[in-house]
Structure 1
């Protein structure tokens, strides 16, 4: 993987991870206001962004598995942090949307 391709993959993790987290947060806000159609749509958008981030990460891992040495920079570590946080936040958002739905159903 060229340095330019590696930077594109890193930025793909940061951008798509950040987008996924934002969509997940929007899902929580929508559920909190009782709009579960919007909440589920935002969770789906978060999933799409995570899929794109995963593709970027897979490109990096595949390159390294093929013997291409990767230079690990602070930006690389930052990009992985973004992805991990986005995945965790998405999982929690899904649970919160479900919880808000249950609360609404109990009323």
Structure 2
């Protein structure tokens, strides 16, 4: 039962991290860079928690505890990888939107 709880926590926190990263993209798109960074920082915290949970599961297995490969565990890993990917892309989008904003301001100054 502890394993299932841990797996469900992986899914839940990964989902939160993914949602926060998507929220950050929306804020960046609207020029709300500070709010975007706050969302990314919160996503960082969730991902750190998930990474810690995943590491503990890996350590348990490495120390001899065997787990059956369940679709739920595969699903949790899928959620985690998607959250990490979207988080990484959100950071890139934030940078791109900031640069575009700077270019637009520079263009306006040159008129």
Which structure 2 residue ranges, 5 or more long, are not aligned?
105-111
Q: What root-mean-square deviation, in Å, do the aligned CA atoms of Structure 1 and Structure 2 show?
A: 0.7
The residue that corresponds to 1:93 in the other structure is: 90
SS at match of 1:19: helix
Equivalent residue for 1:60, pick from 50, 57, 61 = 57
Task: State the alpha-carbon separation in 1 of the partners of residues 28 and 100 from structure 2.
Answer: 11
3-state SS, counterpart of residue 26 of structure 1: helix
Q: Which residue of 2 aligns with 1:38?
A: 35
Partner residue in 1 for 2:46? 49
Measured in 2, the distance between the counterparts of 1:85 and 1:13 equals: 12
Q: Which moved more, 1:88-97 or 1:4-13?
A: 4-13
- Answer with 1 or 2: which has the greater Rg: 2
* TM-score for both structures, normalised by structure 2: 0.91
**Count of aligned residue pairs for this structure pair:** 104
Structure 1, gaps ≥5 residues long: none
Q: What SS does the aligned partner of 1:62 have?
A: helix
